[in-house]
Amino acid sequence: MLEALLKKKNNDGPFRYVYWVILVVFAALVARLVWLQLFQGDYYNSLAEGNRLRAIPLAAMRGVMYDRNGQILVGSRPSFTVTYMPSQGSMTEEELNTLSRLLNLPKEKLREKVAKVKNSYIPTVLAQDLTQDIVTRVEEERNELPGISVDVQPIRYYPYNMMAAQVFGYVGQIDEEDMERLKDEDGVSVITQIGRAGLEAYYDNLLRGKDGSRQVEVARRAVPSKNWNERIPFPVTIST
């Protein structure tokens, strides 16, 4: 009898050790979970929110130049624009052929523009200043063209055409060098138009306004599904 009790006591020893090890590990996991919830919850929530929401820039209407009599020297006007945002994958050959037919543009020219797209959430302009007929054709087949949108964006116009081209200059898309130079300025984005010569360049800091943004909720497979907060672009006007 005594021998049996001694054997039972000795056999319980290893199990008791394993029990305490499991208990300690479980307590450590619970403590870690509580710590993450109480002290790191906001951090991980912000990461999840950042993965769910994307900010898409909205171009500001570039400022208008008037002469002393109130006549427009350089202005901006809205134009129909076809943009591409490849969040649903690469454009196929069939889609390129369809776009080429709808926009009356060479397929290779469209292919070059699509190939230069670096950010899936930044709309890339494929064609602008389109007629109502072209816009209607694109809208009719847009469901078959993932990532393609018809937007209204500002475009520059010069009433005096080439008569004073050297004086007024021209604008162009912002590049990496410009982004670095203007990184501390508010309202500058990857779609900002920059003055490249003449008065457009001289008064650029006044004319370019401030780009806005629109927060888009991204569903599975990185497909934009819903708009959230929107910051309206801010235009400016100057007189010469």
23 falls within a domain: yes
30 falls within a domain: yes
Tokens standing for 155? Answer: 């475009």
Encode pLDDT of 100-159 as tens digits: 999 999 999 999 888 887 766 677 889 999 999 999 999 999 888 888 888 888 888 888
- Say if residue 166 is in the same domain as residue 227: yes
Q: Is the pLDDT of residue 227 over 70?
A: no
Q: Is the pLDDT of residue 26 over 90?
A: no
The letter for the amino acid at 86 is P
- Say if residue 69 is in the same domain as residue 94: yes
Q: Is the pLDDT of residue 33 over 80?
A: no
**How far apart, in whole angstroms, are the C-alpha atoms of residue 53 and residue 214?**
10
Q: Angle 111-117-123 (CA atoms, 0-180°, nearest 5)?
A: 105
- Say if residue 127 is in the same domain as residue 153: yes
- Say if residue 39 is in the same domain as residue 126: no
Decide which of 161 and 66 is more confident. Answer: 66
88 falls within a domain: yes
1 falls within a domain: no
Tokens 């401030």 correspond to what residue? 210
Q: Is the pLDDT of residue 178 over 50?
A: yes
Tokens standing for 218? Answer: 């991204």
Encode pLDDT of 57-113 as tens digits: 888 888 898 888 888 889 988 899 998 887 656 788 999 999 999 999 999 999 988
6 falls within a domain: no
Query: Looking at residue 228, what is its pLDDT?
Result: 46
- Say if residue 192 is in the same domain as residue 226: yes
2 falls within a domain: no
**How far apart, in whole angstroms, are the C-alpha atoms of residue 216 and residue 28?**
39
Domain enclosing residue 43, as ranges: 13-51
Beta carbons within 8 Å of 72's beta carbon, 6+ residues apart: 64, 65, 66, 159
Q: What is the CATH number of the domain that holds 225?
A: 3.90.1310.10
Q: Residue 147 burial by CB count (10 A; 0-12/13-18/19+): exposed, middle or buried?
A: buried
